Amino acid sequence: MKIFHTIKELRETLQPLRTQTIALVPTMGNLHNGHLDLVKKARANADIVVVSIFINPTQFGVGEDFDTYPRTLDADVEKLTSVNADYVFAPSVEEMYPILPTNVQVLSGDISKILCAKTRPTHFDGVGLVVSKLFNIVQPNIAIFGKKDYQQLAIIRQLVAELNFPIEIIGAEIVRADDGLALSSRNQYLTETERKHAPLLQKTLQNLANELKTANFADFDNIIAKTIDNLNSTNIDNVRFKVDYLEVFNQNLQPPKADDKGLVILTACYLGDKTRLLDNLEFTRN
């Protein structure tokens, strides 16, 4: 497996290989089994697998963890070798952004202003920009994104459609620990006690989905509000949850209507002082 740090070198290597199917797996590194599952899916769908490792400054807001975000390139490369990735693209910030702040933005429409964007208003502008750059640099045939970042996946699908990128976007299912917690690089911020109780978030989504499957649509708001109150009032071993958001949409991230069958619950929830857990659950109404 070869590692590239410059756009020029990567492009020169990929240019004669474009008769084959190229897959891109964008990551910010600090890889876990969830990322490796994305690479395995890419390997099953393409001849060549490129994994980008780039901690993107434009998607971090003021006071967020850009400076402290784990940088583990050597360990990441070792893991990627084990799942047969072909190339790693690990550019510097200066390589990706010769000018900062940038003069160009890639706006993502109404779905970039809901959910996570309410408390992270510039986040998806940064995601849209870096993904567009990676698409232009790698020019893949397919790209793999995880469903844990459900809103991000929906925005990227919209971006690809509206900017006419000739790229198939494949969404990979959430990879979870044995106790149900969605795998995330930020889980390492949890204390031992917080980690013990973190699966309560997924259990709460499962209980909410079961209730909404048979509930009258007119009762949705009250049921959701009660679920939020219950989470916010949870205090186990001095571990507290604080809901950032917990909302229900249809699977196109539009407000649900009474006749919608396929729905998704999406949440971001703080556990303890600093860890923000992201999760979602798709379900079908009866």
In the sheet with 275-284, reading across from the earlier edge strand, the strands are: 235-236, 239-250, 262-271, 275-284
Pairing state of beta strands 239-250 and 235-236?
antiparallel
How many CB atoms are closer than 10 A to CB 210?
A: 11
Contact (CB, 8 A) for 56 and 83:
no
Catalytic residue (one of 32, 35, 123, 197): 35
Alpha helices (runs of H) in the chain, residue ranges in sequence order:
7-14, 33-45, 73-82, 93-96, 123-138, 150-163, 192-197, 200-214, 220-232
Rounded-to-integer distance, Cα 251 and Cα 57, Å: 29
Determine whether 123 is an active site residue: no
- 239's tokens: 């571990």
Contact (CB, 8 A) for 176 and 183:
yes
**Which residues are bridge partners to 70 per DSSP?**
none
Rounded-to-integer distance, Cα 99 and Cα 12, Å: 23
The answer for residues whose C-beta is within 8 angstroms of residue 283's C-beta and 6 or more apart is: 209, 212, 213, 262, 263, 264, 265
Inter-helix orientation angle 33-45/73-82, to 10° = 40
Rounded to 10 degrees, what is the CA torsion of 87, 88, 89, 92?
-150
Report the catalytic residues: 35
